[in-house]
Amino acid sequence: MKLQILTELPQGIGGLAAHQLYQVLDGPTLIHLRGECEPPLFVSVLLHGNEIGGWDGARALLDRYAGRTLPRSLSLLIGNVEAARFRVRMLENQPDYNRIWRGGDSLEAGIATEVTKEMRRRGVFASIDVHNNTGVNPHYAVVTQMHPATLRLARTFSRVAVYVRQPDTTQSRAFEDFCTTIAVESGRPGEQWGTDHVINLLETCLRWDALPQSMPHDLDLYHTVARVKVPDDVHFGFSPGNLDLRLLGELEHLNFQELNAGTLVGTVRNGLDRPLLVTDDDGRDVFDDYFELKGDKLRLAKAVVPSMFTDNVRIIRQDCLCYLMERVSAPYSPDSMRSRTRPKK
């Protein structure tokens, strides 16, 4: 497998759904399309094969410009074509295509490095990585820097944004070294309003002469403080049964809500004192900071805002159960969050 680099769209590709792209693409493909001005807008889609909103938005936008020149050049990365074929996040023998952007020995990591070098050489106007969620979440942007241009780009997509630094192997983290970059979470796959939202964002960016530099002051901005995973050896689910951890079925409806200490998360079998793996940005175990066990009841130990709760067991195994967040007040800056971060031991 190697990266394909094209300078025009393959014949008929715009008529193909994400799961059909394998018919014209052999694998990850970077397509450079010339527009009226440079440098190009970089857009990545299908880094997760079941998250089709980015491809649906990109192909609809390109259909609008059929026979016309784009307002700005566009470099479109179509990622995990094989996973998209089978409508899954990734195949069992593959790494996560949004966790390969800081090097590594895999073929996929080599492709990510090649894309990064190619786009650094060409120069990038801005970078947008398009995703969907499986759980119930609002549309929101993910930012890895607190620069005014980054937050303004995020606000162009949504009033809701999340500042993250981990994992540091994402496409956004790799591109932040040389351009303004965001990821966007555009709802569940296949929702038309999510596709329309992506189209509007991409067209707006293609029409800008320059990135707006003013700091927005009306963001609902959150900072991710912990990532929550289910350990591989913990048997879990959402329905009654012989489980180590039974999670509440309505958890995904709590995303982006301010939850109080004491909120019930699930029930745990006797003798299991660490049903979740909870880590902060430095990789430290912070389970006791955010969860407590009273009898067989697993509850929140402090007030937090969750994101990306889902009831999809396969996605939880491949990625995580959720992220825990705290709200950031204006003025937005890394300094405004330092008091919330525990000092290193």
pLDDT at 339 > cutoff 80: no
Here the tokens at position 156 are 């162009």
pLDDT at 344: 39
Describe the crossing of helices 192-207 and 148-157 by its angle, rounded to 10 degrees: 140
Here the tokens at position 327 are 């709200």
pLDDT at 338 > cutoff 70: no
> What mean pLDDT do residues 122-135 have?
94
The backbone torsions φ and ψ at residue 287, rounded to the nearest 5 degrees and listed phi first, read -55, -45
pLDDT at 341: 44
CB 290 within 8 A of CB 226: yes
Per-domain boundaries in the chain: 4-218, 224-331
Q: How confident is the model at residue 65 (pLDDT cuts 50, 70, 90)?
A: very high
pLDDT at 340: 46
> What mean pLDDT do residues 195-199 have?
97
β-pair partners for 327:
222
pTM for this prediction = 0.89
Report how far Cα 14 is from the mean position of its chain's Cα atoms: 24
CB 220 within 8 A of CB 157: no
pLDDT at 42: 98
CATH code, residues 4-218: 3.40.630.10
pLDDT at 237 > cutoff 70: yes
CA gap 158, 51 in Å, rounded: 19
CB 41 within 8 A of CB 205: yes
Beta-carbon neighbour count of residue 282 at 10 Å?
A: 12
Torsion of CA 306, 151, 47, 133, to 10 degrees: 30
pLDDT at 1: 84
pLDDT at 11 > cutoff 90: yes
Kind of pairing between the strands at 126-131 and 41-45: parallel
Task: Encode pLDDT of 274-307 as tens digits.
Answer: 999 999 988 999 999 999 998 999 999 999 999 9
Higher pLDDT among residues 192 and 135, named by residue: 192
pLDDT at 199: 98
Q: How confident is the model at residue 335 (pLDDT cuts 50, 70, 90)?
A: low
Q: How confident is the model at residue 343 (pLDDT cuts 50, 70, 90)?
A: very low
CA gap 284, 274 in Å, rounded: 14
> What mean pLDDT do residues 212-229 have?
93
Higher pLDDT among residues 342 and 38, named by residue: 38
pLDDT at 20 > cutoff 60: yes
Here the tokens at position 50 are 């079941």
pLDDT at 345: 38
pLDDT at 342: 46
Task: Encode pLDDT of 138-186 as tens digits.
Answer: 999 999 999 999 999 999 999 999 999 888 999 999 999 999 999 999 9
CB 163 within 8 A of CB 224: yes
> What mean pLDDT do residues 311-319 have?
91
Listed in order, strand segments (DSSP E) in the chain are 4-6, 29-33, 41-45, 74-78, 126-131, 140-143, 160-163, 181-185, 220-229, 236-237, 245-247, 264-268, 277-279, 291-294, 297-300, 305-307, 322-328
CA gap 305, 273 in Å, rounded: 23
pLDDT at 336: 53
Task: Encode pLDDT of 245-265 as tens digits.
Answer: 999 988 999 999 999 999 999
Instruction: Tell me the average pLDDT of the chain.
Output: 93
pLDDT at 240: 86
